[in-house]
Amino acid sequence: MSRYKIDSIRIFNFKVFDDFAIDFKTSSLVLLGGPNGYGKTTIFDAVELALTGNIERFIKIDILGSSDNIVAKDDSKPVIIKIILSVKNQKVEINRRLKQVQKTKQNNKVSNFSNLWSLELVENGNKNPITQKQLEDIIGENDFKDFYNSFFIFNKKRRHIF
C-alpha cells in the first residue's frame, strides 16, 4: 500500500461551497460532524473526485440525466478542486477542473462524468496536464476504491460504508 497523506484541499464553486479550504497537515485523524446540508459529504465527494476523477455514488442516478452540471454551485463560474498531498516526504499538488462543455443532458450524464474533468499537476507554479494513470503512478496507488471503503458514515436512520 502506498504512503500518502492529504495535507489540504481547497474547493471552488463545488456543490454547497463557493470557496472553502481545509488544512489537514497537523491531523492524523479527521472527523466531520454536523447537521444535514452543511457539506460533510461534499468534502468526501471533492476528495474522491480530485483523486479518481469520478464520484462513485453518483452512478446510481445516471439514468436521470440533467442539462445542469450536478456539482457546480454557480454554472457561470469555474469548478476547481485543489488538493495537496504528501507522497514519500514530497508535496504533490493537483487540480481537478471542470471543462467548459456545452450543457446538454448527454454531456452531463453521470456515465460521462469523468470525461468532464481535466487533471493538472502543479509544479513550481506551472500547471501541466496529466492523466489519471500518471496521477496513480505519482501517488503509488492504483485502486482508490479501497481507500473509500475505509470511510464509515453514520446516519440516525442508517449506517453504511462509504
Whichever domain contains 97, its CATH number is 3.40.50.300
Structure confidence at residue 93 (pLDDT): 97
Rounded CA separation 93/8 (Å)? 9
Q: Which three cell numbers stand for residue 9?
A: 484541499
| Phi (first) and psi of residue 74, to 5 degrees | -130, 115
Cβ of 127: how many Cβ atoms within 10 Å? 14
Write out the chain's pLDDT in tens, 162 residues: 557 889 999 999 999 999 999 999 888 888 888 898 889 889 989 999 999 888 877 766 655 555 566 788 898 899 999 999 999 889 999 999 998 766 666 666 666 777 888 999 999 999 999 999 999 999 988 766 566 555 555 555 545 544
> What is the model's pLDDT at position 162?
47
Q: Which three cell numbers stand for residue 43?
A: 468534502
Helix (H) or strand (E) holding 7: strand 4-14
Number of structural domains the chain divides into: 1
Phi, psi of 138 (to 5 degrees): -65, -45
Could you give the CA distance from residue 67 to residue 54 in angstroms, rounded to a whole number? 18
Give the per-residue pLDDT at 32.
85
Predicted local distance difference test score (pLDDT) of residue 146: 61
**CB distance 15 to 73 below 8 Å:** yes
- Predicted TM-score (pTM) of this structure: 0.82
Q: Which three cell numbers stand for residue 142?
A: 492504483
CA Rg value for the chain: 16
Q: Which structural domain, as residue segments, surrounds residue 29?
A: 4-161
Cα–Cα distance measured from residue 109 to residue 62, given in angstroms and rounded to the nearest whole number:
6
